[in-house]
Structure 1
């Protein structure tokens, strides 16, 4: 065996081993939407010597085959001249000096599906390297990727517990990301949406919804819809739906009555207890009547033939494993007869009205008596005042008599003389009485005598 071929083989291994340390970080596969764009996250490694001993770094993208044969025909983007081949526009977003080669292909069409390789060249050192071990496969589709709904197997949730739902849509073109919308949103829902980076550096739109489960949300179909803008006649949409199942005790419990709430004696009546609950199987129903301690019956329906004692207020209690609820009362009226309850109500009303009238009458009599007493006292006071006025008048008429002269005689020496007034004849006579030291003059007045009627 000659030495020369062996040396060539060693040199080849050395070259291969020296170049095998270079690689690019690219997702192995990415799905693009026809009429949109696709962004390929890209990062490469290269020796520090190649970066420091160069003035320019140039990026290239090669389609289908990394071989240097017919290179020009396979290059879709030439970094030295910024020439794009087969695409409307290609843009390298990454900073090559920082080993970033993220690139956007715009206006992706179906014929762009293929493998693509990144190539780096330096100037003026003229170092070139194609990262052939790390191709990226671009697959172009007319429909968006399916949404990811989490949790995918949402089981039944208990009422009033917090529920977390998430919906994510692939964003192959972060410059034109999809918009996410929700339908049949619970009233207490809080929604946040943002663009997130995945482990392979591709991006997706992530929407998170939090709400408190209500019995009104039971069996509600909650939908998440992603809408993708693109350069076609219509935007593309993709949707995912899940049914929410909520566990809750009886709600909206009520009673229906057949045939009506007012019936005659001998009629067959059916009362039905209706309620919303989950689970609704094996529900327990209990019937009651106001005024009776014991339950009437069990079951969803209560059927009986009406008699004169059937009238009254009925209610039911619905129960499942999570709780119970009592319905509002319903009044059954038996036509043509008054139930004991109705009779008691009438008697109570009559007694109440009678008691009110009696109290009103007593108050009226009391007030009247008080007014009479007040009137009597007032009249008495007026009479006393009139007497005082008369006495005062008498004293006033005798104003010519001094206070000393009105006093009663204090001893036997004080002699009182009286005069006589006779109204029988119209004559006037003066009488003079003398006493020791005093002279008193009296006048006697006589009126005309009446003639006696003769028989």
Structure 2
């Protein structure tokens, strides 16, 4: 055994837990194996950032005597000087390789090594190892438990609770939660709900998970209503990133609510007024869940006995069929009675009387119209006679045959006894004969009136 070998043997016998690590010209004495506390895997979204929660172990005396502490990250291989490893960040030189920027946000003097990788891309998917360097003792160590960063173009699926949404009873309080991974807390996703119940109350917050990663947690509580039955409720997470479009991920659940009959009512296949001998179908409609085992009962006001069983009531109308009808819907959760509907019997004698009355009114109207038309025809048989003479100031414009009045300009009575005009009217024929004579220098107009079988002369 050489002297050198003896020295090494002596050192190992005296310090059985000492291990010598050689890094080129570096000689690092490590008393035990240390670990870094960080997730084994984290999912990142391309075009965004990713935050790695991290703490590390280090001898207490190293921190007490430290004047400066630096952190570093190595990609692919933990060996600091290996040919297939890449130091993507070195805190002592503050240089990043392969990334736009890497920032250690943790306080290294408190054993915190939380780090943010900015603008991650798909080719950044790999194992990453943390390394610490403490001066002035030049204590250096690379932690051999890595974190695998998985970069994807699509966000991680949402986590929805409860995973198995069962049917809930009406009026019970329901709580639904939806959480989305937040690999980049500086730009966390936003969560929105769609088609939410009217009574919903929503709270959203950023939460830390047991592995120290973060997620956006949104909780919705509401009181179940029968109107929410079969409603598709969606939770959507939108991730901002440095691309043309934001990324979204969505999950949808169908709400099932158990409830007794609601909105029970009756429909009729024809008008509510029916006549004897016609067939009538009454249908009872109601909303309920479950609905496959519903029963329907038919009743009539004033009748104690049940009329029928089933969704429809079909019967032929007789004279006693008129009245108020209602139905009762029933399922395992309760019953509901419909509003009443009135069935009116049509009176044929009343209908005939109404038709006769209407016909008489129409006939009277036609007779009046015809009479008015005859009067218009009579009024059109008018003879106009213009009487004109030299020096005559007044003219008789119109004389109606066999009429009792004169239209047009009214005839004036003579102003003195000498101004007398006589007229002769023949009632046998619609003719008027007017003669004029000169009496004592004054103009006199004679009228001759003749009736059938009788002749009258006036001097």
1:327 aligns with 2:331: no
Show the counterpart of 1:48: 60
What is the alpha-carbon distance in structure 1 between the residues aligned to residue 194 and residue 187 of structure 2? 23
Residue in structure 1 matching 2:210, options 172, 175, 199: 199
Contact 1:308-1:337 within 8 A present in 2 as well: no
Residue in structure 1 matching 2:304, options 293, 307, 314: 293
Residue in structure 1 matching 2:182, options 171, 179, 185: 171
1:113 aligns with 2:117: no
Show the counterpart of 1:186: 197
Residue in structure 2 matching 1:14, options 18, 34, 38: 18
What is the alpha-carbon distance in structure 1 between the residues aligned to residue 347 and residue 200 of structure 2? 55
Show the counterpart of 2:227: 216
Contact 2:79-2:85 within 8 A present in 1 as well: no
> Secondary structure of the equivalent of 2:66?
coil
What is the alpha-carbon distance in structure 2 between the residues aligned to residue 73 and residue 245 of structure 1? 55
Show the counterpart of 1:74: 86
What is the alpha-carbon distance in structure 1 between the residues aligned to residue 56 and residue 86 of structure 2? 21
Alignment of 1:260-271 (within 5 A): 260-271=271-282
What is the alpha-carbon distance in structure 1 between the residues aligned to residue 36 and residue 10 of structure 2? 30
Show the counterpart of 1:302: 313
Mark the structure with the bigger radius of gyration: 1
Shift in CA distance, 72/57, structure 1 to aligned 2, threshold 3 Å: farther
Paired residue total: 337
**TM-score, length of structure 2 as denominator length:** 0.71
Residue in structure 1 matching 2:109, options 97, 100, 108: 97
Alignment of 1:51-450 (within 5 A): 51-70=63-82, 74-132=86-144, 134-336=145-347
Give the superposition deviation at 1:72: 11
Contact 1:217-1:244 within 8 A present in 2 as well: yes
- Which stretches of structure 1, 4 residues or longer, exceed 3 Å deviation after superposition? 1-13, 16-21, 70-73
What is the alpha-carbon distance in structure 1 between the residues aligned to residue 10 and residue 345 of structure 2? 117
> Secondary structure of the equivalent of 1:97?
helix
**TM-score, length of structure 1 as denominator length:** 0.71
What are the Cα deviations for residues 285-331 of structure 1, in whole angstroms up to 9, with x where unaligned? 00011111221111110000001111111000000010010001111
Shift in CA distance, 13/19, structure 1 to aligned 2, threshold 3 Å: closer
What is the alpha-carbon distance in structure 1 between the residues aligned to residue 264 and residue 12 of structure 2? 89
Contact 2:88-2:98 within 8 A present in 1 as well: yes
What is the alpha-carbon distance in structure 2 between the residues aligned to residue 102 and residue 259 of structure 1? 77
What is the alpha-carbon distance in structure 2 between the residues aligned to residue 138 and residue 245 of structure 1? 40
What is the alpha-carbon distance in structure 1 between the residues aligned to residue 84 and residue 173 of structure 2? 59
Contact 1:250-1:323 within 8 A present in 2 as well: yes
Give the superposition deviation at 1:336: 1.8
Shift in CA distance, 255/49, structure 1 to aligned 2, threshold 3 Å: same
> Secondary structure of the equivalent of 2:149?
strand
Which ranges of structure 1 fall in alignment gaps of 5 or more residues? 339-455
Larger mean CA deviation between 240-249 and 253-262 belongs to 253-262
Give the aligned CA root-mean-square deviation in angstroms: 2.0
Contact 2:80-2:87 within 8 A present in 1 as well: no
Contact 1:284-1:320 within 8 A present in 2 as well: yes
Contact 2:131-2:142 within 8 A present in 1 as well: yes
What is the alpha-carbon distance in structure 2 between the residues aligned to residue 171 and residue 179 of structure 1? 10
Give the superposition deviation at 1:14: 2.4
What are the Cα deviations for residues 390-442 of structure 1, in whole angstroms up to 9, with x where unaligned? xxxxxxxxxxxxxxxxxxxxxxxxxxxxxxxxxxxxxxxxxxxxxxxxxxxxx
What are the Cα deviations for residues 234-260 of structure 1, in whole angstroms up to 9, with x where unaligned? 000000000000000000000010122
Show the counterpart of 2:385: none
Which ranges of structure 2 fall in alignment gaps of 5 or more residues? 21-28, 350-459
What is the alpha-carbon distance in structure 1 between the residues aligned to residue 262 and residue 85 of structure 2? 73
Give the superposition deviation at 1:73: 6.7
Give the superposition deviation at 1:262: 1.5
